[in-house]
């Protein structure tokens, strides 16, 4: 081998090294992207990855900043405190970020009442949402459901900032919508919200492993689910059981297999028993609930004028799930109990004279029923009876027949509710982002363990503050709304005790504010609609605190 050969090989190696380094461009986390809101009045973190030793240049607001990626390829720098404004543009090496605002940024977390979208409150606030939802200086991110039991994660891929516009607003959290809009109207300061919440989640899922150390039972539970193989095998087995249950339900349901299905137009239901919509006799065997499928049919009359029109079918809320047919045609389904049943009856389906609505109700494990004091009707026009559109009531007597009695459906393990899982995947990736504070609406899933909630939530507050490196970062706790039937005295007492625990957390932790919400509840709905009053109360509290 001659020197010339070694020379050529050396050139190739050097070339390849430059190619590798040159290809390792700066990468940014999903939060640092077009449309983001940077926190005003605080030093602001920017971070990402690059080739080890690579220089990272940032240009923003006519100033330049520089740092160097460390040996692992991580880099981070701080911008000085910024004044509210925008939109601006930022460059980070060869990346250009557009439409950046500077204002107040909030992390909103908790469970379903924090998640509940604007679309779910349009019954009550349709006109306002339609006429007043264009606030492009308000930006929003909803993190997807993720969990991890191994370690805190560093990014949440696939998320992006969205402006509050009519095109986007229906997916915004309803509470966030009313809070952010009201706060912007008060201050004219841009608002950014990162909504990292999961319906049904207990508080322990949002604590880090370190914060769980004083709670060994939860820490040990977390350790059980560190095995990916265990989770995969449990999921596989549970899917098999669920599939078998559903197959048995279908095979055993006479309503699906008779020569004329029970949902068919013109089916003879003359031998079915009569039951009042809110009666309970059909739902039990005299002592225990009957799970499986239950069928209901009701005839209603439509005029010549209404025939052929599109209409809206409202069936309140149903425990647990349903499939619905009008004149033998499938019009909709909901797979769990909480969402309002709002189904469109397409134009041409209704006919003059007698029509029939059929409900196939599914009960998985509790007492099946129709929730009282909800709308059960057919609406013509725009479906807004308060504006004078015609409606046909569906309350009163229905025809009833049991389809397939079943044992309770096999349970599904909610792995994302296990300790530390949500913290690792949905909070840890946010910790570098500079924020104004935390808004927390959670607790429904911890009412039965309210005796330990004060310690758990206080530990979470301390932990989050430490990890954001802000020992007195503001926390706003949303009080649980009133819930449960007046007849359920024990349940109502438990919820009242829980609200006292929430107040104790606010009283014993500095810079924690309780936002009153108990009076805004609905006894028959764990998701009360009046998020407007609540959002305005929250906005007022934040505004007063920032003004002091």
CATH number of the domain that 337 lies in?
Answer: 2.60.120.260
Look at residue 387 and tell me if it is in a domain.
yes
- Asked if 86 contacts 76 with a C-beta cutoff of 8 angstroms, the reply is no
The alpha-carbon radius of gyration of the chain (Å, integer) is 28
pLDDT at 94 over 80: yes
pLDDT at 7 over 80: no
116 and 204 in a common domain: yes
Look at residue 75 and tell me if it is in a domain.
no
Which letter does DSSP use for residue 227 in this model? -
The domain boundary residue, chosen from 376, 406, 436: 406
pLDDT tens-digit profile of 35-80?
999 999 999 999 999 999 999 999 999 999 999 999 999 999 999 9
pLDDT at 6 over 90: no
Confidence tier at 342 by pLDDT (50, 70, 90): very high
Bridge partners, 117 (sequence order): 173
Find all residues with CB under 8 Å of 308, minimum gap 6, and list them.
Answer: 347, 348, 350, 351
Look at residue 20 and tell me if it is in a domain.
no
Confidence tier at 547 by pLDDT (50, 70, 90): confident
pLDDT tens-digit profile of 162-205?
999 999 999 999 999 999 999 999 999 999 999 999 999 999 99
pLDDT at 24 over 90: no
269 and 317 in a common domain: yes
Neighbours of 102 (CB within 10 A): 26
Look at residue 14 and tell me if it is in a domain.
no
The domain boundary residue, chosen from 406, 435, 464: 406
Query: Cα–Cα distance between 441 and 478 in angstroms, integer?
Result: 5
Look at residue 530 and tell me if it is in a domain.
yes
401 and 384 in a common domain: yes
260 and 184 in a common domain: no
C-alpha distances (whole Å) from 313 to each of 49, 81, 361 are: 52, 53, 16
pLDDT for position 389: 56
Confidence tier at 491 by pLDDT (50, 70, 90): very high
336 and 262 in a common domain: yes
pLDDT tens-digit profile of 475-486?
999 999 999 999
| CATH number, position 432 | 3.40.50.1110
C-alpha distances (whole Å) from 275 to each of 272, 296, 298 are: 10, 9, 11
pLDDT for position 382: 61
* Domain span holding position 379: 248-406
400 and 434 in a common domain: no
167 and 145 in a common domain: yes
Query: Per 3-state DSSP, what percentage of the chain is helix, strand, and coil (rounded to 5)?
Result: 35, 30, 40
Look at residue 215 and tell me if it is in a domain.
yes
401 and 277 in a common domain: yes
437 and 377 in a common domain: no
276 and 391 in a common domain: yes
The domain boundary residue, chosen from 356, 381, 406: 406
Q: What percent of the chain is predicted at pLDDT more than 90?
A: 92
pLDDT at 422 over 90: yes
Average pLDDT over residues 461-472: 97
Residue 349 backbone phi and psi in degrees, to 5: -85, -40
Query: Cα–Cα distance between 493 and 264 in angstroms, integer?
Result: 46
Confidence tier at 9 by pLDDT (50, 70, 90): very low
Average pLDDT over residues 513-538: 98
366 and 489 in a common domain: no
Structure pTM?
0.92
Residue that wins the pLDDT comparison between 154 and 8: 154
Domain count, the chain: 2
424 and 314 in a common domain: no
Query: Cα–Cα distance between 223 and 213 in angstroms, integer?
Result: 12
Look at residue 197 and tell me if it is in a domain.
yes
What six digits make up the tokens of 485?
A: 């039937």
pLDDT at 295 over 50: yes
Find all residues with CB under 8 Å of 175, minimum gap 6, and list them.
Answer: 108, 113, 114, 116, 441, 478, 531, 534, 535, 538
Look at residue 168 and tell me if it is in a domain.
yes
**DSSP of 281-332:** GGGBSSSSB-EEEEEEEEEEEE-TTTTT--EEEEE--EESEEEEEETTEEEE
pLDDT tens-digit profile of 193-223?
999 999 999 999 999 999 999 999 999 999 9
pLDDT for position 546: 84
pLDDT for position 5: 45
Average pLDDT, the chain: 94
pLDDT tens-digit profile of 383-414?
454 444 589 999 999 999 999 999 999 999 99
pLDDT at 96 over 70: yes
Helix (H, G, I), strand (E, B) or coil at 47: strand
pLDDT tens-digit profile of 128-148?
999 999 999 999 999 999 999
């Amino acid at each position: 081998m001659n020197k010339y050969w070694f020379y050529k090989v050396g050139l190739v190696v050097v070339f390849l090294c430059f190619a590798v380094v040159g290809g390792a461009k700066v990468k940014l986390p999903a939060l640092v992207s077009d449309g983001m809101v940077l926190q005003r009045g605080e030093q602001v973190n920017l971070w990402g990855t690059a080739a080890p030793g690579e220089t990272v240049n940032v240009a923003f607001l006519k100033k330049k900043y520089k740092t160097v990626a460390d040996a692992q390829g991580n880099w981070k720098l701080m911008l000085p405190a910024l004044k509210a404004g925008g939109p601006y543009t930022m460059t980070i090496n060869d990346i250009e970020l557009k439409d950046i605002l500077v204002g107040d940024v909030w992390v909103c977390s908790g469970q379903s009442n924090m998640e509940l979208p604007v679309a779910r409150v349009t019954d009550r606030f349709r006109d306002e949402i339609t006429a007043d939802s264009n606030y492009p200086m308000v930006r929003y991110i909803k993190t997807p459901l993720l969990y991890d039991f191994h370690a805190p994660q560093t990014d949440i891929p696939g998320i992006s900032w969205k402006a509050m516009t009519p095109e986007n607003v229906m997916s915004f959290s309803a509470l966030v919508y009313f809070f952010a809009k009201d706060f912007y109207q008060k201050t004219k300061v841009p608002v950014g919200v990162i909504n990292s919440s999961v319906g049904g989640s207990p508080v322990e899922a949002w604590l880090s492993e370190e914060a769980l150390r004083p709670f060994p039972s939860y820490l040990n539970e977390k350790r059980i689910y560190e095995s990916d193989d265990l989770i995969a095998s449990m999921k596989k087995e549970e899917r098999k059981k669920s599939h078998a249950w559903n197959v048995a339900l279908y095979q055993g349901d006479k309503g699906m297999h008779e020569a004329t299905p029970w949902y068919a137009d013109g089916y003879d239901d003359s031998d079915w028993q009569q039951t009042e919509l809110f009666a309970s006799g059909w739902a039990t065997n005299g002592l225990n609930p009957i799970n499986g499928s239950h069928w209901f049919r009701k005839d209603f009359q439509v005029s010549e004028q209404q025939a052929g029109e599109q209409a809206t079918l409202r069936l309140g809320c149903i425990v647990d799930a349903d499939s619905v047919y009008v004149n033998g045609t499938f019009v909709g389904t909901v797979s769990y109990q909480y969402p309002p049943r709002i189904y469109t009856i397409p134009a041409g389906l209704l006919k003059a004279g007698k029509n029939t609505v059929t409900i196939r109700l599914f009960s998985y494990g509790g007492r099946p029923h129709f929730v009282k004091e909800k709308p059960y009707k057919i609406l013509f026009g725009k479906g807004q009876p308060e504006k004078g559109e015609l409606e046909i009531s569906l309350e009163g007597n229905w025809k009833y027949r049991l389809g397939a009695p079943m044992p309770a459906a096999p349970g599904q393990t909610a792995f994302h509710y296990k300790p530390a899982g949500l913290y690792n995947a949905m909070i840890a990736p946010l910790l570098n982002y500079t924020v104004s504070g935390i808004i927390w609406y959670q607790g429904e899933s911890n009412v039965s363990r309210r005796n330990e909630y004060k310690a758990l939530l206080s530990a979470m507050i301390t932990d989050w503050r430490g990890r954001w490196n802000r020992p007195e970062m503001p926390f706003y706790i949303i009080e649980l709304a009133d819930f449960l039937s007046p007849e359920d005295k024990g349940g109502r007492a438990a919820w009242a005790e829980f609200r006292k625990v929430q107040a104790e957390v606010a009283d014993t932790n500095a810079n924690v504010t309780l936002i009153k919400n108990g009076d805004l509840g609905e006894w028959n709905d764990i998701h009360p609609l009046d998020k407007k009053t609540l959002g305005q109360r929250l906005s007022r509290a934040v505004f007063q605190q920032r003004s002091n």
